[in-house]
Amino acid sequence: DTGVSQNPRHKITKRGQNVTFRCDPISEHNRLYWYRQTLGQGPEFLTYFQNEAQLEKSRLLSDRFSAERPKGSFSTLEIQRTEQGDSAMYLCASKDGAVTNTGELFFGEGSRLTVL
């Protein structure tokens, strides 16, 4: 498998529950990004990692959100005490940081969260 893999693809949860999404990037890619996309909107940047270091976080990422990439390979995005406003598609993307002159991101298929 040479693509970005995200799990689960769909998650339905009740308000107040915690959810965790996993992203497995393309194996040789050292940069990993999380985006959130709501219906009719473009993806919005949440955070990104270079290897295991989290280099930037958006103001959209409230204290209830935490992302990790412990060994510089897969990443998890956890949302605690979910709210209905968290309902969205959570997209993961990866990039080979050494290839700085293209900027192309490779996206996964996303994890759709519905908070009831």
* Of 19 and 110, CB closest to another protein: 110
Report the nearest approach of another protein to the CB of residue 53 (Å).
Answer: 14
**Nearer to another protein among residue 76 and residue 80 (C-beta):** 76
Q: Specify whether the CB–CB gap between 79 and 88 falls below 8 A.
A: no
For the bound state, the minimum distance from the C-beta of residue 2 to another protein, rounded and expressed in Å, comes to: 14
Close Cβ partners of 9 (under 8 Å, ≥ 6 residues apart): 109, 110, 111, 112
Position 103, amino acid: G
Residues of this chain that interact with another protein (CB under 8 A) are 4, 31, 33, 35, 40-45, 48, 56, 91, 93, 95, 100-110, 112
Give the Cβ contact number of residue 6 at 10 Å: 24
Min CB(48)–another protein separation in Å: 6
Cβ distance 112 to 91 under 8 Å? Answer: no
